[in-house]
Amino acid sequence: MTMKLFENEVAAAEALKTAYSKLQKEIAKVIIGQDDVVRLVITSIFCQGHSLLVGVPGLAKTMLIKTISDALDLSFNRIQFTPDLMPSDIIGAETLDNQRNFKFIKGPVFANIILADEINRTPPKTQSALLEAMQEYAVTVAGERHLLDKPFFVLATQNPIEQEGTYPLPEAQLDRFMFNILLDYPSYEQEVEIVKTTTGSDPQQVNKVIDRQEIMEFQQLIKEVPVADNVVEYAVKLVQKTRPGQEGAPEITNSYLEWGAGPRGSQYLIAGAKFNALINGKFSPDIEDVQAVAKPTLRHRILRNFKAEAEGVTVDAVIEQLM
């Protein structure tokens, strides 16, 4: 695919940086603070990835995703995951029409942006209905494959798994997400601002900033960004350090981890580093760009053992040490 909207890669890189800045400003009209969270969600969109947002109820996870979708000129569907949700409620099903012929009725997954709200409130059978869509950009119903429109993103919210009524996501599905993004409580000043802006009578309107064609051009641009061998080697070594029992695994890995990240972790580290470099005015990522996306990329691909849980050693603390 050649660049159609921009004369060359330099012009495209400048356009991406400008578009990202505009996106930030539009989202900031509604979302107070959470700058890192916004950056990571936008990163996953431009890198053709999916994001999982984890936090207690009431931290505006759903509002954040809806606001981002408002700033992107893309179709949007929200799926509220509940314990009685069935796979056909997500991907669609075949029904009989008036002529008694089978007709496929598309489910809400047929949109550019899918908000999978409280994805861990539904059993694994229904969670897995998203697996093919997230990986293959298609769904199969009654032996027939139906392609999804591109670009396609799943932005899912999840309550902490310790809460009542939640089902942990299968590791295979967790690995489909580029980022696992943690949302924390706002600061005092941010919460004051949130209350002021959300209890008034003048709701902020979010303007469309980027359309479908621009997003797909930017996605192609990111693929073409060159990466130095030492940066790729750093990313791969970082991922391999998370694998206990492997040659070269550090003591902290062998002591506290049950298993580590797979090759998809390395791929997403480099993809995220490319985008991080471009929005910071660089034409090639360095090791700092890899480190900027390391925690959200790896934290859901690493499983702690009982010793780590007993001693209160977090996954983020292990990643920090490995970096």
pLDDT over 80 (residue 8): no
| Omega before residue 226 within 30° of 0, cis | no
The pair of structure tokens assigned to 191 is: 């919460």
Domains of the chain plus CATH, in order, are: 9-200 (3.40.50.300), 225-322 (1.10.8.80)
Nearest by Cα to 40 from 225, 294, 267? 294
Q: How far is residue 36's CA from residue 21's CA, in Å, rounded to a whole number?
A: 13
pLDDT at 1 (0 to 100): 39
Out of 20-29, 40-49, 289-298, least confident range: 20-29
* DSSP, residue by residue, 223-236: HH----HHHHHHHH
Average pLDDT over residues 12-16: 82
The pLDDT assigned to 2 comes to: 42
CA angle 190, 200, 40 (to 5 degrees): 40
Q: Taking 80 as the threshold, does the pLDDT of residue 134 lie above it?
A: yes
Which among 280, 243, 284, 277 has a CA at the least distance from the CA of 260?
243
pLDDT, residue 201, reads 67
Rounded average pLDDT over 149-159: 86
- What is the residue type of 305? N
Where in the chain does DSSP place strands (E)? 51-54, 72-73, 76-80, 92-96, 102-106, 113-117, 138-141, 144-147, 153-158, 179-182, 210-211, 257-259, 303-304
Please say whether the dihedral angle defined by the alpha carbons of residues 231, 234, 235 and 237, taken in this order, is positive or negative.
Answer: positive
Q: What's the confidence (pLDDT) of residue 274?
A: 93
Q: What is the pLDDT of residue 139?
A: 86
Q: How far apart are CA 33 and CA 118, in angstroms?
A: 22
- Kindly state the percentage of the chain with pLDDT values over 70: 94
The Cβ of residue 175 has, within 10 Å, a number of other Cβ atoms equal to 19
Q: Is residue 161 scored above 70 in pLDDT?
A: no
Q: How many CB atoms lie within 10 A of CB 98?
A: 6
173-220 pLDDT, tens digit each: 788 899 998 888 878 888 888 787 777 666 677 888 888 888 888 888
pLDDT tens across 88-105, in order?
Answer: 888 888 787 777 777 888
What pLDDT shows up at residue 188?
85
Residue 66 DSSP class: H
User: Residue 291 — very low, low, confident or very high, per pLDDT cuts 50/70/90?
Assistant: very high
Average pLDDT, the chain: 84
Closest CA to 272 of 293, 291, 288, 287: 293
The tokens of 294 are what? Answer: 């390391």
Neighbours of 108 (CB within 10 A): 17
Give the phi and the psi of residue 259 in degrees, each rounded to 5. Answer: -155, 165
pLDDT tens track for 18-38 = 888 888 888 888 887 778 888
Which pLDDT does position 231 carry in this prediction?
A: 93
Question: pTM of the prediction?
Answer: 0.86
Cα 179 from Cα 299, distance rounded (Å):
8
Does the structure show a pLDDT above 60 at 82?
A: yes
